[in-house]
Each structure stands twice: as C-alpha cells, then as structure tokens.
Chain A
Amino acid sequence: EPEVTQTPSHQVTQMGQEVILRCVPISNHLYFYWYRQILGQKVEFLVSFYNNEISEKSEIFDDQFSVERPDGSNFTLKIRSTKLEDSAMYFCASSPQGGRYEQFFGPGTRLTVL
C-alpha cells in the first residue's frame, strides 16, 4: 500500500540554524500539507500546497517557513532560523484531491531545537 515517507525521523539543531524537512507524498496525490504537533498537544495545520504553489497557510507559517516541491517526488519544509518553540513533530500529508478527500499522514520528523 502506498504511503507518505519523511526524512529524517529525528533532527536536532541549534537555535538559529536552518533545517529542511523532507517528504515524499503518495505518487498520484495532488495536494500536500504540513502539520505540526507540539508534544502532548493537538495537531496544527501549517500549510497546504497545490499545483506548485501555496493554497493556504496558517498564522504559524510566518516568514521563517517556506515550502518547495523541488522535483516530481519531494516536498520540503524549510525553517530558516529555528527557535526553541519550533521543537515539535512535523507531519507531512497528501491527498488525491483537496477538501472532500482523506489526508494520509507520514510518520513525522521530530525536530528538537536546542
């Protein structure tokens, strides 16, 4: 069964450093998403991406964040200058279409900012 994959599974970085989190969505899906989950809290939407552009973003997704689909398979989330409060589990998700379709989540990348 096709699944969303994410790398790395765990990333440790120093405050102020840039990190790139990588995702490979399910191959025939058209919509891609990033969510984050701070330990013990709810899952929060960051951004959705369709047709090579951002379709929606939340208040969390400020200028420090960017997304890119550099080739036909990868979908990346970049945090330019990490802060302590960016420590969280970051989930990538994809869906065949938007809105009325289920979103399939990847296993997540645990980001720890020291």
Chain B
Amino acid sequence: QQPVQSPQAVILREGEDAVINCSSSKALYSVHWYRQKHGEAPVFLMILLKGGEQKGHDKISASFNEKKQQSSLYLTASQLSYSGTYFCGTGGAGSYQLTFGKGTKLSVIP
C-alpha cells in the first residue's frame, strides 16, 4: 500500500521553510526521499532507517517516527532550485522495492 504524502502542493517564497509529510499504514523499515524536476529522473535526497540511522543531504533534514510510521522532510531557507516534486519511498523489512507516494509539488518563487 502506497504511503500518503501531504500536502499535495505548496508554494513558497525564497527563504521560507516547508515541511512535507509521509505516512504509511504498514510498518516501515526505511524511508527514502527523492526530488524530481520536470522531465528528469528522481534524485536521491535522504534515507532514514529504522533504528535512527540517516544518510543524505547537508541542507535538508528529515525525521522518522517509527511508532507512528511517519516521516517528515524539512526544507529550510528554500531556494529556487528546491522547486520540484518530492516523493517519499518506503521500504519494508526484507524487501528491496520502494513504494512511492504520489508526491508533493513544491514551487519556490522569488
């Protein structure tokens, strides 16, 4: 079952902050965050693993609440280059596939 992302879309001015949420009805082993610009491949941002390990981007942070089966991506001091669609992909124990949410479209305007 696919994770649910919220909001579906958000518009920010440069310098503003945003939070994108991802929740799942299934127990999560890992949460992977990607950003996709129009017509391009998804680009890896962050991975959060059960047990607290994180790997990823310097300027982007995220949290993973294992009990609530939720993850949030925090974008601070947004830049124009942050525009794109953000997907969370969830992984289960013993599974290599990622199940992606429908995405959150982020638009940063000057």
Contacts and interface: CB of A to CB of B under 8 A. Distances in A.
Given A42-B87, A42-B101, A56-B96, A102 B2 contact: no
Q: How large is the interface on A (under 10, 10 to 19, 20 to 34, 35 or more residues)?
A: 20 to 34
Given A99-B91, A101-B47, A102-B55, A33 B41 contact: no
Contacts of A48: 96-97
Contact of A99 (B29, B36, B40, B55): B29
Interface stretch (A13-21, A68-76, A78-86, A103-111): A103-111
Interface of B: 2, 29-30, 32, 34, 36, 40-44, 47, 49, 53, 55-56, 87, 89, 91, 94-103
Interface of A: 31, 33, 35, 41-45, 48, 50, 55-56, 58, 91, 95, 98-108
19 contacts: A33-B96, A33-B97, A42-B103, A43-B89, A45-B99, A48-B96, A56-B95, A99-B91, A99-B96, A100-B47, A100-B49, A102-B32, A102-B44, A102-B55, A103-B32, A105-B34, A105-B43, A107-B41, A108-B41
